[in-house]
Structure 1
Amino acid sequence: MDLVPFDRNKKDKFLTLNAEQQALAHISTAVIGAGNVNNYTRTNGRLRVNPEESNVISSRNAGRIEQLYVKETGTSIRKGQALFKGYSEQLLTLQQELLMTHKQAEQFTSDTRFQDIFEAAKQKLLLYGQTQQQLSSLLRSGKASPYITFYAPSSGVVSELLITEGQYVAEGDALLRLEGYHSMWVEADIYPREASLVKEGQKLTVFANGNTEQPLQMEVQFISPAYQESTQLLQLRGTIANPDNKLQAGMPATILLPQTSSIESLSVPSNAIIRSGKSSHVWIALGKEKFEPRIVETGAEAFDRTAITSGLKAGDNVVISGAYLLYSEYVLKKGGVVN
């Protein structure tokens, strides 16, 4: 990109760009001042499904899977959605018991024992997974049926489907698993010296899947008290919100662990610093159209800012975007690197 004519024979280190050229180069500046820069160390982690949002649906009674309404994994399920229809002689017997005790309770209204027996029969069916609506419909119709529809107790995504149509199941058999993704676990392996820098309940910054532009806040919930087998590592775990379900299990994550207390220092955005060879420099705006490289020494680095220990002073107007393009233009026109 030809920004501005430049004479190689000139010893001046600055570049001159008019307003239009600056707009094309997407150059922006900011006046720097003193502030706190936190020193962090990065550790790699991974995202896991939060088991608190998982729900294993098991058979409450023995019977046969008559019809499946969900036939593949990855299907999104709403709470209250029909999952399958089953055939169960045991439930048929309990329904008949409910109808009989209901008639007795209505006939002998003065005897509370019959009402108690009716409530106990109703409670049995509720414990077997029947809903209040299903029981009300049964009492209205007065007809028991061995075919019962079972509904999802929570929303989620089907991650495991362990049954097929026509299959007989025993009481307690796992049928399917629903997983929710409104929050995710973040797990990381850390060294004991790193574990001393964090504590349960502390907030840490996390980048998921290499996306450094959208930092997430994780609350530390667990630090293992013992080394993992055959290692010198401890496990750190926390939870991050996932309201849009964009995060997925297995994604890599980067966790920023505080290494020292914050340091009062001049700092600039990390992408404003150009590192070439053994030196680092930033670009300073000397006026509306003049830009000059300035050699600097850097200190502590946070995830998005770097402390400057020498080379700048408070009030300098530093180029915070477009610095690499200025440097490329300088090398092209001047025929050398900044030193």
Structure 2
Amino acid sequence: MERKNFLKVVAFTALMPAFLLTACKDGNKQQTGEVKQTYTCPMHPQVVQDKPGICPICAMDLVPFDKNSKDASLTLGESQITLANITTMIAGASDLSSYRQLNGRLVTDPEGTAVISSRVAGRVEVLYVKETGVKVNKGQPLYKIYSEQLAALQQEYLLAAAQVKQFPEDERFRQIEKAARGKLHLYDQSDAQINQLIQQQKVNPYVTYPATVSGVVAELSVTEGQYVAEGGAVMRVESYHQLWVEADVYPNEAANVKPGQQVKVMVAGREQTPHAMTIQFINPVLQSGRQLMQIRGTVNNPDNEWQPGLQAVIFLPMQSKDAVLSLPTDAVIRDGKGAHIWIETAKGKFEPRKVTTGIENADKVEIVKGLEPGEKVVITGAYLLYSEFVLKKGNNPV
């Protein structure tokens, strides 16, 4: 019995180091186990898993990231900064105004519109402009008309001129000749044409009328061969060198609008170049069938780059502040948690900063809290920094 106990003790003593060694290896293996790689969606950082795959929301490929990283900043090289078009500015105080956007449109200015009418009754022999949209210049021939009435006046003048020539001392004949000449002037007969009539001693019932203004033919009222009455409309010519801007405003907002007030106008397709405009008129009557009032101003259009009918946006000043911290709108990133900006704390090192915003307009936004004057703020490329942070860190910056 004692021999059996002795053998057990010897066997246990011999195997004990092997058990201890195995236990130590297992413990070390657990302590030094490899960190599992995690993956997230570049567009939806809330999607996290420990293996590659696709995002269940947008179906994008998941990218690896280090979920244990606690560093809240990004460090980029000069080439990365240039490629991402990251630029900065020093934060400082400036004046800021907020705007109310009004829907508007460009319309033709009636002061630049001319209706070309016939000075005599007759038949339109030739239309030198036969379609709308054609540009005409002042003095350019527009139409030729045959007028029996004009022929009669010319014959009357030839008789009066012959009487004056026959009896040069007779004052009565000179008065008759002067009156007959005046009638021809009323029908747009120039002195040169009247002198030519005397030289040729032959009536010419055809008269060509030129454009009295420069512009674009907007409407044709006659066709070739058609008879027109004296004063009858032949065509309408519009000038677009100056256009009206009309905008709709609700009656409860009309108190913020006053004649003489300066506003900004942005035309569709030319958003980068807003124009200044003075409000000239406020219609006191609501539009028919609509609970809207109408305001109007004028903008110059010297190169005819705008056409009537284009949509426009009028920025009506609503609130203004002096000496406030403001940034370009592109510098502020907004998400479900609020707004944040990116500060360059050192050369090539960028850090997100949560901010509170105030009034804003189309160009700038007021920073009420979270920014100090003199700090260097990213104004372009902020969204790329946001995306880079999500890719590397797997969560939102703030």
TM-score for both structures, normalised by structure 2: 0.77
Judged with a 3 Å threshold, the aligned counterparts in structure 2 of structure 1 residues 64 and 326 are, in CA distance, closer, same or farther, namely same
Q: Within 5 Å, which residues of 2 pair with 1:145-294?
A: 145-209=204-268, 211-294=270-353
Unaligned runs of 5+ in 1: none
1:68 aligns with 2:127: yes
Q: Within 5 Å, which residues of 2 pair with 1:1-339?
A: 9-102=68-161, 117-131=176-190, 134-135=193-194, 137-139=196-198, 141-209=200-268, 211-339=270-398
Query: Shift of residue 140 of structure 1?
Result: 5.1
Deviates more, 1:326-335 or 1:177-186: 326-335
Query: Shift of residue 262 of structure 1?
Result: 3.5
Query: Shift of residue 124 of structure 1?
Result: 3.0
Structure with greater helix share of residues: 2
Q: What amino acid does structure 1 have at the position aligned with 2:378?
A: V
Deviates more, 1:102-111 or 1:39-48: 102-111
Instruction: Give the Cα–Cα distance (whole angstroms) in 1 for the partners of residues 196 and 66 of structure 2.
Output: 91
Once the two structures are superposed, what CA deviation does each residue of 1:245-301 show, in whole Å capped at 9, x if it has no partner? Answer: 111111111111121344431111112211112411122222331222221111111
User: Higher RCO, 1 or 2 (CA under 8 Å, sep at least 6)?
Assistant: 1
Instruction: Give the Cα–Cα distance (whole angstroms) in 2 for the partners of residues 235 and 61 of structure 1.
Output: 40
Once the two structures are superposed, what CA deviation does each residue of 1:145-169 show, in whole Å capped at 9, x if it has no partner? Answer: 0111110000111111121111111
Aligned residues: 335
Residue pair 1:130, 1:150 contacting (<8 A) in 2 also:
no
Q: What amino acid does structure 2 have at the position aligned with 1:292?
A: E
Instruction: Give the Cα–Cα distance (whole angstroms) in 2 for the partners of residues 332 and 310 of structure 1.
Output: 28
Instruction: Give the Cα–Cα distance (whole angstroms) in 2 for the partners of residues 234 and 63 of structure 1.
Output: 45
Query: Shift of residue 132 of structure 1?
Result: 5.4
Instruction: Give the Cα–Cα distance (whole angstroms) in 2 for the partners of residues 70 and 202 of structure 1.
Output: 42
Query: Shift of residue 112 of structure 1?
Result: 6.7
Q: What amino acid does structure 1 have at the position aligned with 2:127?
A: L
Query: Shift of residue 226 of structure 1?
Result: 2.6
Deviates more, 1:57-66 or 1:8-17: 8-17
Instruction: Give the Cα–Cα distance (whole angstroms) in 2 for the partners of residues 19 and 248 of structure 1.
Output: 46
SS at match of 2:256: coil
Instruction: Give the Cα–Cα distance (whole angstroms) in 2 for the partners of residues 20 and 105 of structure 1.
Output: 95
The alignment yields a C-alpha RMSD, in angstroms, of: 2.5
Deviates more, 1:111-120 or 1:254-263: 111-120
Deviates more, 1:255-264 or 1:50-59: 255-264
Judged with a 3 Å threshold, the aligned counterparts in structure 2 of structure 1 residues 317 and 120 are, in CA distance, closer, same or farther, namely farther
SS at match of 1:312: coil
Q: What amino acid does structure 1 have at the position aligned with 2:265?
A: V
Query: Shift of residue 305 of structure 1?
Result: 1.1
Q: What amino acid does structure 2 have at the position aligned with 1:222?
A: F
Query: Shift of residue 330 of structure 1?
Result: 1.9
Judged with a 3 Å threshold, the aligned counterparts in structure 2 of structure 1 residues 83 and 290 are, in CA distance, closer, same or farther, namely same
Q: What amino acid does structure 1 have at the position aligned with 2:242?
A: S
Query: Shift of residue 85 of structure 1?
Result: 1.0
Q: What amino acid does structure 2 have at the position aligned with 1:183?
A: Q
Q: What amino acid does structure 2 have at the position aligned with 1:72?
A: E
Query: Shift of residue 113 of structure 1?
Result: 6.3
Q: What amino acid does structure 1 have at the position aligned with 2:275?
A: L
Judged with a 3 Å threshold, the aligned counterparts in structure 2 of structure 1 residues 201 and 138 are, in CA distance, closer, same or farther, namely farther
